């Protein structure tokens, strides 16, 4: 069974600084997808970034980038130039790839990291 | 652009009562899921569906029922509410497994 671990329950960063949130996962699959979701105090779940395991290039979305280390099963999120609006819970998620049938479509979420950006 | 719509947003129940949380999406997504979110535990999968007429259990299915008679709707039924089911419930949908999920705004459910 797959597991996702976020070892940092809480973090804080000064506005305009850079912060890295860690995520490790355990799987025997070679084809899978990884996601970071953000949940601000409004409770909405918002996609931050997505990575396909077969792509070696790290995904980037504006100030957000990942460091994907497939062999180490690590998927960290780097937030550059942190802004007050980045204050939120951040969840790492794993999704198995391959042909989707009943029994295989299961997102596995980590327990989250609460990030606070300080003014 | 409604996306994923969950109703109600808040609900208080008494132990033993039953109710249905509604979830509807207008994006023609085949894949839909229900999660519960509890402090310190992230999101845990309750039930999911890969298409109309097809449902399967997730990590924490006990006490919950689902059905998927149409592509658009995926209701979650609490059969006999228990205080342990006090949680925030999220419904999500996606076009495919490689695409990210779209989430509803959640339902905060309290069971007394």
Give CA separation, B31 vs A56, A76, A109, B2, B55, in Å.
27, 27, 17, 17, 10
Residue A1 has pLDDT above 90, yes or no: no
| Average pLDDT over every residue of B30-48 | 92
In this predicted structure, what is the pLDDT of residue A105?
72
Residue A101 has pLDDT above 70, yes or no: no
Give CA separation, B62 vs A12, A66, A107, B47, B85, in Å.
37, 36, 18, 10, 10
pLDDT band (50, 70, 90) for residue A73: very high
Note the pLDDT tens digit of each residue in A16-47: 999 999 999 999 888 899 999 999 999 999 99
From chain A, pick out residues whose CB is under 8 angstroms from the CB of B40.
Answer: 9, 111
Note the pLDDT tens digit of each residue in A42-70: 999 999 999 999 888 899 999 999 999 99
B23/B7 Cα distance (integer angstroms):
7
Contact A105 B97 (CB under 8 A): yes
In this predicted structure, what is the pLDDT of residue B72?
97
From chain B, pick out residues whose CB is under 8 angstroms from the CB of A109.
Answer: 35, 42-44
Q: Are A109 and A84 in contact (CB under 8 A)?
A: no
pLDDT band (50, 70, 90) for residue B111: very high
- Percentage of chain B with pLDDT > 70? 99
Per-chain mean pLDDT for chain A: 92
In this predicted structure, what is the pLDDT of residue A55?
87
From chain A, pick out residues whose CB is under 8 angstroms from the CB of B100.
Answer: 35, 37, 47, 50
DSSP assignment letter at B73: B
SS3 (DSSP) at A90: strand
């Amino acid at each position: 069974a797959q597991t996702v671990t976020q070892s940092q329950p809480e973090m804080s960063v000064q506005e305009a600084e850079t912060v890295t949130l860690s995520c490790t996962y355990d799987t025997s699959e070679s084809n899978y997808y990884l996601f970071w979701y953000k949940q601000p105090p409004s409770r909405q779940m918002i996609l931050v970034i997505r990575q396909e395991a077969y792509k070696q290039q790290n995904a980037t979305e504006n100030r957000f980038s990942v460091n994907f280390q497939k062999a180490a099963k690590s998927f960290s999120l780097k937030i550059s130039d942190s802004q007050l609006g980045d204050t939120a819970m951040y969840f790492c998620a794993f999704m198995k790839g391959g042909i989707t049938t009943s029994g295989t479509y299961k997102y596995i979420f980590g327990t989250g990291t609460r990030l606070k950006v300080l003014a | 652009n409604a996306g994923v719509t969950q109703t109600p947003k808040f609900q208080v129940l008494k132990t033993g009562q039953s109710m249905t949380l509604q979830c509807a999406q207008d994006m023609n997504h085949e894949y839909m899921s229900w999660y519960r979110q509890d402090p310190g535990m992230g999101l845990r999968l309750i039930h999911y569906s890969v298409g109309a007429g097809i449902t399967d259990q997730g990590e924490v299915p006990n006490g919950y029922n689902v059905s998927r008679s149409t592509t658009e709707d995926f209701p979650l039924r609490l059969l006999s509410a228990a205080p342990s089911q006090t949680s925030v419930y999220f419904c999500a949908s996606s076009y495919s497994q490689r695409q990210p999920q779209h989430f509803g705004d959640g339902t905060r459910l309290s069971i007394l």
